[in-house]
């Protein structure tokens, strides 16, 4: 990671060093069948109206066989996401057995910065409350296909960025690799009604320091061996 300097000294804002931005100096984690394991010591409850925001960059629009993230709350709710071929699978609760929604990965989502938002849907009736209310990319809702109470899923035990749903048993779908073919950063969980940010991981690099939780206490505790990469147009938050 590079840092912003002034008169030869690092710039500090809010008691933290400010990352520096320059030509060919914009580095993010290079996920290549790798993940970042987070602390599980003080998980927040994400029951109710919560949203997950993150930025994502995909190198292509197809050929995926990857887990993406598995963020569990201190209850039965969570945000799980995986990719297969040219589809994204998202689950937000285990309360009725495994249910999920799938979304297409369009060509326009390849090699572009994707501002993603997944919102849970606690106000719906019946099984619909256990599916995402929406999945927006760059302020546009993706078309959703719902899969209600479809049986069992394999879930990786760790709380992480880069791993999560390993299989959907009743579909015969497996996600055989950890995150790859892209990268994630600026990952944030927010309580919608209050605007309170529960967790925020910037992820500007491949070290434990790069994956501190700026709002909560779920810092990275281990990281698979991975390099760094650039993303065109990246601007830090």
- Segment 28-40, tens digit of pLDDT: 999 999 999 998 7
Note the pLDDT tens digit of each residue in 92-117.
Answer: 886 667 889 999 999 999 999 999 99
- What average pLDDT is seen over the chain? 87
pLDDT value of position 26:
66
Q: In terms of Cα–Cα distance, which of 44, 145, 152, 22 is closest to 94?
A: 152
Burial class (CB in 10 A: 0-12, 13-18, 19+), 39: middle
Confidence tier at 2 by pLDDT (50, 70, 90): low
Instruction: Spell out the alpha helix ranges (H) of 60-146.
Output: none
pTM attached to this predicted model: 0.87
What are the structure tokens assigned to 43, written together? Answer: 């998980």
CB 102 within 8 A of CB 57: no
What are the residue boundaries of the structural domains of the chain, listed by start? Answer: 27-229
Q: Indicate the pLDDT class of residue 24, thresholds 50, 70 and 90.
A: very low
Q: Are strands 50-58 and 227-229 parallel, antiparallel or unpaired?
A: unpaired
Q: What is the pLDDT of residue 7?
A: 44
In CATH terms, the fold of domain 27-229 is Jelly Rolls (2.60.120)
Structure tokens at 26: 């914009």
> Which tens digits make up the pLDDT trace of 115-133?
999 999 888 777 788 889 9
Do residues 103 and 109 make contact, with C-beta atoms less than 8 angstroms apart? no
The dihedral built from the CA positions of residue 51, 44, 29 and 104, taken in this order, carries a sign that is negative
Q: What is the pLDDT of residues 33-87, one digit of tens each?
A: 999 999 877 677 788 899 999 999 999 999 999 999 998 876 678 899 999 999 9
Closest CA to 163 of 154, 171, 152: 154
Q: Where are the alpha helices (DSSP H) in the chain?
A: none
- Provide the 8-state DSSP code for 3: B
Structure tokens of 115? 């501002």
Looking up tokens 């990671």 gives: 1
Show Cβ contacts of residue 130 under 8 Å, excluding neighbours closer than 6 positions. Answer: 92, 93, 95, 96, 99, 121, 148
């Amino acid at each position: 990671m590079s840092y912003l300097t002034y008169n030869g000294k690092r710039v500090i804002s809010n008691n933290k060093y400010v990352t520096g931005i320059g030509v060919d100096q914009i580095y993010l984690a290079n996920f290549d069948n790798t993940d970042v394991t987070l602390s599980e010591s003080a998980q927040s409850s994400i029951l109710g109206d919560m949203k997950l925001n993150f930025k994502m960059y995909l190198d292509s629009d197809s050929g995926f066989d990857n887990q993406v993230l598995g963020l569990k709350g201190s209850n039965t709710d969570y945000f799980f996401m995986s990719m297969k071929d040219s589809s994204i699978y998202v689950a937000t609760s285990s309360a009725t057995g495994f249910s999920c929604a799938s979304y297409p990965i369009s060509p326009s989502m390849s090699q572009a910065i994707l501002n993603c938002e997944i919102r849970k849907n606690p106000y719906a009736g019946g099984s619909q409350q256990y599916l995402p209310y929406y999945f927006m990319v760059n302020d546009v809702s993706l078309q959703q296909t719902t899969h209600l109470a479809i049986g069992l899923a394999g879930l990786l035990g760790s709380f992480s960025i880069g791993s999560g749903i390993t299989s959907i048993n009743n579909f015969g779908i497996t996600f055989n690799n950890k995150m790859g073919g892209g990268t994630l950063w600026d990952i944030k969980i927010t309580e919608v009604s209050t605007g309170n940010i529960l967790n925020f991981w910037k992820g500007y690099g491949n070290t434990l320091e790069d994956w501190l939780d700026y709002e909560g206490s779920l810092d990275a505790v281990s990281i698979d061996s991975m390099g760094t990469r650039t993303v065109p147009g990246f601007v830090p938050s």
